[in-house]
Structure 1
């Protein structure tokens, strides 16, 4: 895994990972009814693992977005929109 290119990129990645963990983890716990796991130590550790894993996709999405932007920073908006349209079809 490559390191972030700037402190700003690192901060945005970390913030999105934390928010993805907190919000995504809460949604997963709520959706699957994992509240009972909080009754003992092993269950709490498992819940923290679930919450942590929910933050990893947020980190990956932010990294992909930064790489996409970096590749196209010299392009105009119309070229970027065409690239996105090509990628979606």
Structure 2
């Protein structure tokens, strides 16, 4: 059995091997998906899968876009910076499922419409 300090060192080394930034992104995306699933309960298994996927993609893609836009890549070199990046990734994922759900509801309501009707409807809304 190893002592706590060497166990913690091994955990930190493992975190570095896995990739601290990728791990922070995965944690932030996963937490955002859990929060969204608790806040807006899916109506079916299919909707649950769509919710998880869209939240994770919004977390990772949106978080990366915000970090890139504001030039925050240097945060990846410190533990506190990684935590801040985790928060950004988490926050970017929260609206992901809502946007996808709104889009699918809109598509479902316009199921029988042709492309011209949808385009004129969207133009009228803008």
Structures share fold, TM-score greater than 0.5: yes
Aligned to 1:76: 112
Q: Work out the number of aligned pairs and report it.
A: 86
Which has the larger Rg?
2
Aligned to 2:76: 38
Given the alignment of the two structures, is residue 61 of structure 1 paired with residue 99 of structure 2, yes or no? yes
The SS at the match of 2:94 is helix
Distance 2:44 2:104 in 1: 11
Distance 2:49 2:67 in 1: 26
The unaligned stretches of length 5 or more in structure 1 are none
Q: Displacement of 1:6 after TM fit?
A: 0.8
* TM-score normalised by structure 1 residue count: 0.75
Q: Displacement of 1:36 after TM fit?
A: 1.6
Given the alignment of the two structures, is residue 51 of structure 1 paired with residue 77 of structure 2, yes or no? no
Higher relative contact order (CA 8 A, sep 6+): 1
Aligned to 1:2: 40
